Amino acid sequence: DAKTTQPTSMDCAEGRAANLPCNHSTISGNEYVYWYRQIHSQGPQYIIHGLKNNETNEMASLIITEDRKSSTLILPHATLRDTAVYYCIVRPLIQGAQKLVFGQGTRLTINP
């Protein structure tokens, strides 16, 4: 699985957009970028995923660079409840690829 690099921690003011970067320079053509978050001591929550096009859902937007070597997760209007550890994961969509490899993630703190 491709390795990802994320900043250890970030801060964001409540109501502002939170932009979380992820570097995945060794990503393969068949690998997707997934984002999960984990609020303290809870199970990871799926946020969004994409292959090469930008994606948006009710939780967030995912911007993937044209060369696919990096991506940014955007929480458009951060709230205090968005304080969590955010994990960027790359994985192929193929049989037997259910193993998710979690890095250390980014600890995002939303400040009032």
Partner 1 sequence: KAGVTQTPRYLIKTRGQQVTLSCSPISGHRSVSWYQQTPGQGLQFLFEYFSETQRNKGNFPGRFSGRQFSNSRSEMNVSTLELGDSALYLCASSLSSLGETQYFGPGTRLLVL
Residue 29's alpha-carbon distances to 1, 32, 58, 83, in angstroms, are 12, 8, 27, 32
Q: Which residues lie near partner 1 (CB under 8 A)?
A: 32, 34, 36, 41-46, 49, 87, 91-104
Report in angstroms how near the CB of residue 111 gets to partner 1 at its nearest: 24
Q: Cβ closer to partner 1: 21 or 92? A: 92
Report in angstroms how near the CB of residue 108 gets to partner 1 at its nearest: 17
Report in angstroms how near the CB of residue 105 gets to partner 1 at its nearest: 8
Backbone angles phi, psi at 73, to 5 degrees: -95, 130
Q: Retrieve residue 17's tokens.
A: 């957009």
Backbone angles phi, psi at 80, to 5 degrees: -60, -30
Collapse the DSSP code of 82 into the 3-class scheme (helix H, G, I; strand E, B; otherwise coil) and give the result. helix
Q: Cβ closer to partner 1: 26 or 46? A: 46
Report in angstroms how near the CB of residue 79 gets to partner 1 at its nearest: 21
What is the separation of C-alpha 68 from the centre of its chain, rounded to a whole number of angstroms? 14
Q: Cβ closer to partner 1: 45 or 56? A: 45
Q: Cβ closer to partner 1: 13 or 101? A: 101
